[in-house]
Amino acid sequence: MTGGAAVEDPRIVRTKRDVIEAVGALLLEDGWDAVTHAAVAGRSGYAKGTIYAHWPTRLDLVSASIEQICDTAQHPAPTGDLRADLRASLLDFATDLSERHLDRLLAGVVERSGLGDVVQRLKRRLYETGTSGLRAILDEHIHPGDIAPVLTQLTGAVLVRVAFEGERATDEFVDDLIRRVLHSARPASTGAATEALR
């Protein structure tokens, strides 16, 4: 008898992958309310009974999809240049909001954040995943006590610009934002890092 974890049937793996991809497409294209077992069945090509067997509730479907979205999220690779790295990450965030419909996903989770611990966990996971690249950049350059407020100011301004004002986050907008926010931040250490903030 051999030890180790059991290997899942490839057909089940494929079914789960296809269904979660269908849920993700519905979430991002049409929002939380579009995710029903019937809609997912139509989108994925699997029977409703199969979907109910693995994900009994709508929240189960949404939760699995958000976890998959977070697990596969990618951020621009840092170069070590603070301003260039922040610009690349913030422009990527703006693109996620405007072209990849991240705004719809965030709105659905925020709207339902009072529904229980699962939604609260999903909201935290989305925020932590979405800001992990920026946080890693700031960790290298900014005083630890300034990271949270700087992160909030940078992401909040882009979110308002794109999702609420309906405007593009241009290079000029992002560069001006970075300059303003970094002006009051303390460097992680003295020397060259200080110059990067000014």
Q: Return per-residue pLDDT of the chain as tens, 198 residues.
A: 455 556 777 888 899 999 999 999 998 888 889 999 999 999 999 999 999 999 999 999 999 999 998 999 899 999 999 999 999 999 999 998 888 878 888 888 888 887 789 989 998 998 899 899 999 999 999 999 999 999 999 999 999 999 899 999 999 999 999 999 999 899 987 654 555 565
Name the pTM for this structure: 0.82
Q: How many residues does the chain have?
A: 198
Beta partners for residue 187, in sequence order: 142
Q: What is the pLDDT of residues 110-165, one digit of tens each?
A: 888 877 899 899 989 988 998 999 999 999 999 999 999 999 999 999 999 998 99
Q: Cβ of 149: how many Cβ atoms within 10 Å?
A: 13
Is the same domain home to 98 and 142? yes
**Could you give the number of structural domains in the chain?**
2
Is the same domain home to 64 and 154? no
Q: Cβ of 154: how many Cβ atoms within 10 Å?
A: 23
Q: Is residue 5 part of a domain?
A: no
Is the same domain home to 64 and 79? no
On whether the CB atoms of residues 142 and 188 are closer than 8 A, the answer is yes
Q: Where are the alpha helices (DSSP H) in 55-170?
A: 58-71, 82-98, 102-111, 117-141, 144-159
d(CA 158, CA 98): 11
Task: Provide the domain limits for residue 184.
Answer: 75-197
Q: Is residue 55 part of a domain?
A: yes
Identify the DSSP state of 184.
Answer: T
Identify the DSSP state of 3.
Answer: -
Q: Is residue 4 part of a domain?
A: no
d(CA 165, CA 121): 28
d(CA 82, CA 89): 11
d(CA 157, CA 8): 44
